[in-house]
A and B are shown apart, each in its own frame.
Chain A
Amino acid sequence: MAKPVEEVADAMFNMVKDAQGMKKLKPMDLTKAMIEFFGDEVDKKLCKLAIRELIESGRCVYTYFGGSFIELPHREGAAND
């Protein structure tokens, strides 16, 4: 049985939170980790929905540093206030 989107989004959020400041995670990193963690209960399509939920809830943001990543919202170093 498939996991609810919110549960996968929560697991992704925890992963992003734990990695913040140490490793930048791409959407596919999260997807692969969820498939490994939840097994047959998730697939790429469900992970895509979970990422969308993460972004649209404002808990995470897309960032760009040579490539696109998913991170917690934060003040960027380059910003001029």
Chain B
Amino acid sequence: MADLPNTPLLDELEKGPWPSFVKEIKMAAKRNPMGADLLGQLEQSYREKIGHWKHGGIVGVFGYGGGVIGRYSDLPEKYPNISHFHTMRINQPAGWFYTSEALRKICDIWEKRGSGLTNMHGSTGDIILLGTKTDELEPVFSDLQKIDFDIGGSGSDLRTPSCCCGMARCEWACYDTMALTYDLTMHYQDELHRPAFPYKFKFKMSGCPNDCVASIARSDMSIIGNWRDEIQIDQDAVGEYADKGMDIQSDVISNCPGKCMEWDGKELHIDNSYCVHCMHCINVMSKALRPGKDRGATILIGSKAPIIEGAFLSSVLFPFIKIESPYDKIKDTVDKIWDIWSEEGKNRERVGEFIQRVGLGNFLDAIEVEPVAEMVAHPRENPYVFYEEFYEEDDGEEEEEG
């Protein structure tokens, strides 16, 4: 076992009842010298308030353009074991379901060929394997393929699609998120491994409007389960909630953003035409209320975290579509979006930024989607729909009058 460096600042992060990454790195350091050097460099960074990582831009596995993020220490003489410390993103199974045997195999590979440190899971959804040398990248890739795992996305490509656990565990799931995620992952292998876009593109699939994977904030295309008929109500179960002391007026009715519910002390009434599908009432009275029976998804586009522009939330592209294999409507739309964005998008411009630059009206024209009222994010602020025939007439009259 390598001697651990003196790390008074990092040691502070071990205090308290919560999990600590410092504790984990110290455990890994017992088996791998990379851990000790990692602690040393990190302590130095904390002390100096300077990062000591250099970003690599070339390392990868043969034929692929994504999945490996190059990292080098800028203090290689002092910390030789982390001179190379590349990250590998591994495509996770849809819904993050593993057998313990599969997890052990991944860990065995990483303890043999890397630092042994993992991040389960990264914010991308992938299995993150932290820290290996350039010479070990191809052997890791080869070992992973033998146990049926593949590298995920990074750079200007399709990032590894991810989803909530959907119908596997959740009764609110309005479509099979895992089936769609698997299908899109397999269908778009080329786009996942061979970067061809102006910048990254992410799919995230949520089974219901609770949006447990936060797809509306984190993915270029958010596919969020939804229903288009009426919320199912079990009035007896509503009564039971009331009998057991729930203040339905205060806890449910008053919190409804659509103001579409009424409670007369005996029966709950919902005007579904005003329901905004926020899921609040269903979450609060889960035995009494359920999503409707006519289920599918709302597809939204354009969210991103702030890099070039500020943070965006996705906005509606299709208010409701049925999600059924082979998902042709989704794939046709995605292909058209990628086509126009790849051709006209600027370097490092996410699709949401592209839409904002060219205007949603022009974007919809290009992907051959008709505008609908649900696309308007803020009434009277988003003039997405132009009535060109009237616009031209008025324009002509104004010119004549002028």
Binding site for B on A (CB under 8 A): 26-28, 32, 44, 48, 51-52, 55-56, 58, 61-68, 73-74, 76, 78-80
Contact = CB atoms under 8 A, between A and B. Distances in A.
Given A32-B343, A64-B58, 9 more contacts: A26-B347, A27-B195, A28-B342, A61-B58, A62-B65, A68-B157, A73-B58, A76-B70, A80-B72
A62 B64 contact: yes
B156 to A, nearest CB: 4
A62 B83 CA distance: 22
B394 interface: no
B194 A66 contact: no
B196 A67 contact: no
Given A67-B155, A74-B58, A80-B73, A55 B65 contact: yes
Interface stretch (B49-57, B102-110, B122-130, B287-295): B49-57
B181 to A, nearest CB: 23
B63 interface: yes
B35 interface: no
Contacts of B63: 55-56
Contacts of A78: 54-57, 70, 72
A68 B156 contact: yes
B199 interface: yes
A64 B199 CA distance: 11
B302 interface: no
A44 B63 CA distance: 19
B190 interface: yes
A13 to B, nearest CB: 16
B72 A79 contact: yes
Contacts of A56: 62-63
Nearest to B341: A28
Given A48-B196, A76-B70, A64 B57 contact: yes
Contacts of A27: 194-196
Given A74-B58, A79-B72, A66 B348 contact: yes
Contacts of A80: 72-73, 76, 83-84
A30 B59 CA distance: 22
A63 B83 contact: no
B348 to A, nearest CB: 5
Contacts of A58: 62
Interface in B244-274: none
Interface in B158-201: 190, 194-196, 198-199
